[in-house]
């Protein structure tokens, strides 16, 4: 369960998003809304990247603000347009995230191989294409033992084959008990994703 209450996010004094109360049980959620409606703001706040007013509680135990380390180990995030230190290699990025998320040894191997990044691990990520950076960010988001995985615009810069792989990852992890929040302005293939529910962001508010 992910419980959001009295949530407010302001930019330069302007209310960008509010969520009075929202309880999300286990599932796969598609966050829909126009560009600029607050989809990315919501995901970044839930991931602990943006500050906000209000409270976010995971499984009635982990408070994002009071227990940020424990919360972030259970809630993973991939940005729409990831930016990584250009001098680090893909292998080093995987090692950093695996350590931070307390991932099982070698867990990244399956993801790297299935999405086709295993041959580029020793290259600095500054030389990666936008598609490769996206794939790497998705691999990192699946490391550890997350309860929730938040994916911001996972469809952009991804080829058809990679999207099919991502859908398989989501199905497998959902079957293992992981929940998902996916933002996308592009239509999702609802038949490819399990138990898909829709959250609508409009008028600065999130609703079912």
List pLDDT tens digits, range 104-139: 999 999 999 999 999 999 999 999 999 999 999 999
Backbone φ/ψ region at 187: left (φ over 0), alpha (ψ -120 to 50), beta = beta
Distance of alpha carbon 72 from the chain centroid: 11
Answer whether residue 67 shows pLDDT above 70. yes
**How does DSSP assign 131-183, residue by residue?**
HHHHHHHHHHHT-S--SEEEEESTTTT--HHHHHHHHHHHHHHHHTT-EEEEE
pTM of the model: 0.96
Task: Please classify residue 93 by burial: count the beta carbons closer than 10 Å to its beta carbon, then call 0-12 exposed, 13-18 middle and 19+ buried.
Answer: buried
**Per-residue confidence band for 175, with pLDDT thresholds at 50, 70 and 90:** very high
Mean pLDDT over 80-93 rounds to 97
Res 184: pLDDT = 85
Residue extents of the structural domains in the chain:
2-207
Res 193: pLDDT = 85
What is the fold, at CATH topology level, of the domain defined by 2-207? Answer: Rossmann fold (3.40.50)
Name beta bridge partners: 9: 17
Residue entry with tokens 């999702």: 188
Answer whether residue 190 shows pLDDT above 70. no
CB 174 within 8 A of CB 195: yes
Q: Which residues contact 65 (CB under 8 A, 6 or more apart)?
A: 55, 56
């Amino acid at each position: 369960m992910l419980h959001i209450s009295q949530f407010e996010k302001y930019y330069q004094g302007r209310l960008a998003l509010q969520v009075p109360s929202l309880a999300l049980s286990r599932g796969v959620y598609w966050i829909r809304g126009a560009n600029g409606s607050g989809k990315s703001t919501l995901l970044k706040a839930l991931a602990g990247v943006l500050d906000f007013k209000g409270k976010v509680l995971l499984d009635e135990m982990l408070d994002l603000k009071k227990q940020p380390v424990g919360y972030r180990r259970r809630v993973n995030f991939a940005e729409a347009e990831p930016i990584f230190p250009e001098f680090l290699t893909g292998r080093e990025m995987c090692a950093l995230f695996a350590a931070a998320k307390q991932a099982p040894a070698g867990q990244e191997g399956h993801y790297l191989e299935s999405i086709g990044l295993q041959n580029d691990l020793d290259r600095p990520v500054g030389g990666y294409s936008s598609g490769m950076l996206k794939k790497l960010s998705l691999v990192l988001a699946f490391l550890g033992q997350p309860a929730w995985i938040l994916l911001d615009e996972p469809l952009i810069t991804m080829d058809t084959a990679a999207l099919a792989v991502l859908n398989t990852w989501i199905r497998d992890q959902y079957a293992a008990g992981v929940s998902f929040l996916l933002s996308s302005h592009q239509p999702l293939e609802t038949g490819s994703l399990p138990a898909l529910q829709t959250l609508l962001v409009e008028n600065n508010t999130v609703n079912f």
